[in-house]
Structure 1
Amino acid sequence: MSGDIFTQEHTIVYYETDQTGKLSLPMIFNLAILASANHGAALGQGEEELHANNTGWVVLQYDLHITKRPQAGDVVIIKTQAQEYNPYFAVRNFWLETPAGDKLVAIKSVFAMIDMEQRKMVRIPQSLMDAYEATKVRHIEKIPAPQAIDINQPTVKKEYHVRYLDIDSNKHVNNAQYFDWLIDPLGAEFLQTHELVNLNIKYATEVRYGQEVESHYQISDDQLVTWHQIKTDDTLNTQAELKWRANN
């Protein structure tokens, strides 16, 4: 049986929204990770305890589904649950709901634990997962990989420099920063006339401080699907598939 669901309430404030006044994509993930961190702290397995053992969580993949984005001033209920794990991987679910229980956002994620100095995967301590009451499995429930960019077709490219403030306490680029790099190249006109409904992102190689990032994308003929990749030099760091609906 999966572990208990951790719940917290949050009021959306203006600086968490984009130009539409709705909760921005990076902030959706920031709120999810906030709930995850608070869940760990409540169980005595927070960032301080992990870092004391020179370990930390890194996300490998997210699968996001949006029913409706909340707006500034809305009260949301953030929920998270450690679903299952094996020695090296853990599956965690997140939800954003209205106080009445209407679903707004659902996220499925796969995490791994790393040695903070060597930046290599390590086994997840059994005591840690016991605290979360997650289900131990031989093989975790995988998320399908996002469709890759067609290397035989041209891409639109935009470049970014990795700044000091892009790095978080796990000593790598904050996960939410990747979403800025993904969607910013699409441009204001597209983003103001389309609403994101699904995002599947898979992280391959960490982006480090001081690197130069290339964000590439391709778009479907009907402009309802975009395919993305983030590269540093010739290294593929991240790939993603985004599905959209046109605003009426």
Structure 2
Amino acid sequence: MYEMKTVVGTSQIDKDGLLKTSSIFDLMQDCSFFQLDSEEELTKYFNENNISMFLVSRQVDIYKLPKYSDKIIVRTYVYECNEAYGYRNTVIYDENYNELVICYAIGGFVDLSNGNLIRVPSSFIEKIKFDEKQKMNYLPRKINIDNDLLKETDRFKVKKYFIDDNNHVNNARYIDMSLDYADDYYKRIRIEYRTPAELGDTIIVRKAVIDDKVLLKFDSEDNKTYALLEFSYSL
């Protein structure tokens, strides 16, 4: 388990003074990588074998958004792992450890030399420390979307400020991209990450509204899917 304490700053809030959705993702991502870095055996194995973990999916349930200057606590841990995927909970609390945002995420082991998903030996899995699985409504990793219901809404080029040190669009930037297509304030966000988008790629936005959900599909010009997003206005 890894925990970090911070204060909601002005660069992290929206027009209403509340923590931005993309800032939620940034905080969770930072905490997760700090936790990975703190695991010496894990870091050593990754470095020696040129391996990393790429996010496959994330579900975020939002109960209450903290506001500017609120003290918050971000806690993350791995609760399960197999030879192909790791499963993680990340929770944002207020300063009294009341749950504000709960997340579960799935990451895949990736060979950095070619970007392919790989399987790691069971002997490596045995070295990982697991914590108790968080109580939440765990929805499936895959998001079902009827392509016939989707309508092209927009298209744009991937800019430099979307790119992280893996040279593709950072997972939190898909949230920034989606802000023009989903209204405030949703209670649950699900994202399924497919093909990493790179600098200069054209992203085609396709959208559908079904009941209380907004569905977004970010596609490439050659019909690959970069990411699927589902915004729900109820838990």
TM-score exceeds 0.5: yes
Matched residues, number: 227
Deviation for aligned residue 1:159: 1.7
Task: Give the conservation status (yes or no) of the 8 Å contact 2:57–2:141.
Answer: no
Deviation for aligned residue 1:126: 5.2
User: Take 1:201 and 1:181, find their aligned partners in 2: how far apart are those partners?
Assistant: 13
1:147 aligns with 2:144: yes
2:199 corresponds, among 188, 202, 209, to: 209
User: Take 1:45 and 1:27, find their aligned partners in 2: how far apart are those partners?
Assistant: 30
Matches within 5 A, 1:230-241: 230-233=218-221, 234-241=223-230
The residue that corresponds to 1:227 in the other structure is 215
**What letter is aligned with 1:207?**
A
User: Take 1:119 and 1:15, find their aligned partners in 2: how far apart are those partners?
Assistant: 32
Deviation for aligned residue 1:21: 1.3
Task: Give the conservation status (yes or no) of the 8 Å contact 1:38–1:46.
Answer: no
Deviation for aligned residue 1:91: 0.3
The residue that corresponds to 1:82 in the other structure is 78
The residue that corresponds to 1:38 in the other structure is 34
- 1:52-71 CA distances to partner (integer Å, 9 max, x unpaired)? 64222101011110001111
Matches within 5 A, 1:59-98: 59-98=55-94
User: Take 2:232 and 2:64, find their aligned partners in 1: how far apart are those partners?
Assistant: 14
The residue that corresponds to 1:57 in the other structure is 53
Task: Give the conservation status (yes or no) of the 8 Å contact 2:8–2:72.
Answer: yes
Deviation for aligned residue 1:28: 0.6
**What letter is aligned with 1:229?**
K
Deviation for aligned residue 1:48: 8.7
2:8 corresponds, among 12, 23, 30, to: 12
User: Which ranges of structure 1 fall in alignment gaps of 5 or more residues?
Assistant: 136-140
Task: Give the conservation status (yes or no) of the 8 Å contact 1:57–1:112.
Answer: yes
User: Take 2:65 and 2:44, find their aligned partners in 1: how far apart are those partners?
Assistant: 32
1:242 aligns with 2:231: yes
SS in structure 2 of the partner of residue 73 of structure 1: coil
Matches within 5 A, 1:107-126: 107-124=103-120
Cα–Cα, structure 1 residues 39 and 158, in superposed 2: closer, same or farther, change >3 Å? same
Matches within 5 A, 1:143-182: 143-148=140-145, 150-153=146-149, 155-182=151-178
Deviation for aligned residue 1:168: 1.2
Which has the larger displacement, 47-56 or 163-172? 47-56
User: Take 1:6 and 1:182, find their aligned partners in 2: how far apart are those partners?
Assistant: 29
User: Which ranges of structure 2 fall in alignment gaps of 5 or more residues?
Assistant: 132-137
2:187 corresponds, among 197, 207, 210, to: 197
User: Take 1:209 and 1:48, find their aligned partners in 2: how far apart are those partners?
Assistant: 30
Identity of aligned residues (%): 19
SS in structure 2 of the partner of residue 15 of structure 1: helix
Which has the larger displacement, 75-84 or 206-215? 206-215
**What letter is aligned with 2:186?**
L
User: Take 1:33 and 1:45, find their aligned partners in 2: how far apart are those partners?
Assistant: 20
User: Take 1:24 and 1:214, find their aligned partners in 2: how far apart are those partners?
Assistant: 24
User: Take 1:52 and 1:163, find their aligned partners in 2: how far apart are those partners?
Assistant: 32
Which has the larger displacement, 102-111 or 205-214? 205-214
Task: Give the conservation status (yes or no) of the 8 Å contact 2:5–2:74.
Answer: yes
Cα–Cα, structure 1 residues 49 and 28, in superposed 2: closer, same or farther, change >3 Å? farther
